[in-house]
Amino acid sequence: MLPERKQILVVDDEPNLRRVLSAQLERDGWEVHTAEDGAMGLEMLRDNHIDLVITDLRMPKVDGMELLRQARALDAELPVVMITAHGTVDNAVEALKTGAFDYITKPFDQGEVRAIVRKALKTRDLSATDATPQDHANQEGFRYGIIGHSPAIKELYAILDRVADTPTTVLITGASGTGKELVARALHENSSRRDMPFIKVNCAAIPKDLMESELFGYERGAFTGAVTSKPGRFELASGGTLFLDEIGNIPVEMQVKLLRALQESEFERVGGIKTIKVDVRVVAATNSDLKKEIASGGFREDLYYRLNVVPLRLPPLCERGAEDTLLLAQHFIQKFNARLKKNIVDADAEAKKRLTEYPWQGNIRELENVVERAVLFCDTTQLRVGDLPAEVREGRAAPDPTAATEAASSDGLKEQVKAAMSRLERELIVKALEQTKGNVTHAARLLKISRKGLQLKMKELGLRESAETKEPKKLA
């Protein structure tokens, strides 16, 4: 299984140290949260889904040892790495006895930090998948963390075998939820660049006028507010892989600059005169039809050909056939078994039939969400039709596959999928609250989202914390 973006919490009262450490961790591709003391750290642990804690030992309020103890009480599997000053190894030994994963000494050695973080997160992954002892990694149908048996996926494996460990640019296309990001990460993880950063840029999420400085960085004084200079994503990805997601959304004005950076492997920071050279492997992805964009003037043809050196088209689930759908469903059952502490073996024949007949317009992401919900609902060792959401049970979505492909880009369909998703979310949340007797903190942990996130979602879905969903202690 490939890693999702792991979340690391850095707790230290020294702002400089927090900054340096989180910058390094971010550069390595992790998502970083910071807290300035143990009390704040604990609060963040409760509110976020943290995979690893790195904490200083000596801190005001709650110190590192206390944080370690409380963190392990919250989640016994959570790895905690201690930061100690040189020469205070005694404390570190005590921390190890209390269950700390490892310790690092100040001043940091980047390589050492990187190695410990990787090891700690790997341990975390293994403990999360205890329920699936067999190693899927090299099994046919499970290669690269990408699941499938269909001819289309076998072809994908063959291309990955050939291009993963090359510097070649790859353009991944496919509808929403077909696994584009998964494949991009697989390319990186299976290349000799795997120990270097994987940097993702979501071109649709970055405002037009920030795009250039995001990609190429800027020099101090380049514009109002540029008080220091900053490297861009190209520089951060140096030696590794740059993943340009939703490349179809990159503003036309930026396309020439991007083309040059790709062709020459060089660029200048905004406001800079020095030409910077980097060694970066570029993988791009899009769910829009770039050929159409070219025709309408929204995308440069020369850039398209530069990106499309190796095209990888990910088929929608409906083209992959029943066998793939069932393989994926089975994989997600295992995944959520581990997460939700269930023991489900498989789906019964009728449930399998509904799963294979349903036209998955949200593709694998939608299937994954449906299985997660079903696993949560299921009280026995087999998923049954009753555990599936109404639309899958009744096969309600458009049955005509040609209409589905045509509609796939239409707003109407997006609305439909969105509505189905929020119904699903709602059911999941209600069920989680039921299971935890209305305890929002526990429900959030079950759903693997932050407590604040859950509260927001509840509000959005009109699920106010009513009498029966309130935390028990708040009941009169």
Ligand X SMILES: Nc1ncnc2c1ncn2[C@@H]1O[C@H](COP(=O)(O)OP(=O)(O)OP(=O)(O)O)[C@@H](O)[C@H]1O
Binding of Mg ion at residue 181 (CB under 5 A)? yes
C-beta of 202: minimal distance to Mg ion in Å? 8
Q: Shortest gap between Cβ of 183 and ligand X (angstroms)?
A: 7
Residue 180: CB minimum distance to ligand X, A: 3
Residue whose Cβ sits closest to Mg ion: 181
Q: What is the DSSP string of 395-421?
A: T-S---HHHHHHHTTSHHHHHHHHHHH
**Residue of the chain from 29, 174, 197, 248 that contacts ligand X (CB under 6 A):** 174
Distance of closest approach, residue 364 Cβ to Mg ion, in angstroms: 11
Q: Applying CB under 5 A, does 37 fall inside the site for Mg ion? A: no
Binding residues among 336-365 for ligand X as defined by CB under 6 A? 364-365
**CB 150 within 8 Å of CB 321:** yes
Give the helix/strand (H/E) hosting 53: strand 52-56
239-to-192, 215, 234, 242, 444 alpha-carbon distances in Å = 10, 15, 10, 10, 38
CA 473 from centre of chain? 34
Instruction: Draw the binding track, 453-472, toward ligand X (x: CB under 6 A; -: no contact).
Output: --------------------
Q: Of the ranges 44-52, 107-115, 142-150, 381-389, which one interacts with ligand X (CB under 6 A)?
A: 142-150
Interface size with ligand X, residues (CB under 6 A): 17
CA nearest 453: which of 474, 476, 432? 432
Q: Which does 123 bind (CB under 5 to 8 A by kind): Mg ion, ligand X, none?
A: none
3-state secondary structure 22-46: HHHHHHCCCEEEEECCHHHHHHHHH
| Contact region with Mg ion (CB under 5 A), list: 8-16, 115-123, 181-189, 194-202 | 181-189
**What CA–CA distance (Å, rounded) separates 350 from 343?**
19
Here's the x/- map for ligand X, 315-334, by CB under 6 A: it reads as -------------x--x---
- Considering only residues 179, 232, 315, 389, which one is a binding residue for ligand X as defined by CB under 6 A? 179
Q: Which residues pair with 104 in a beta bridge?
A: 83
**Exactly one of 84, 150, 178, 337 binds ligand X (CB under 6 A); which one?**
178
Strands 241-245 and 281-286: parallel
Instruction: Annotate 284-312 with DSSP letters as a single string.
Output: EEESS-HHHHHHTTSS-HHHHHHHTTEEE
The yes or no reply on residue 366 touching ligand X (CB under 6 A) is: no
Indicate the residue among 41 and 321 with the shorter CB distance to ligand X.
321
Residues making contact with Mg ion (CB under 5 A):
180-181
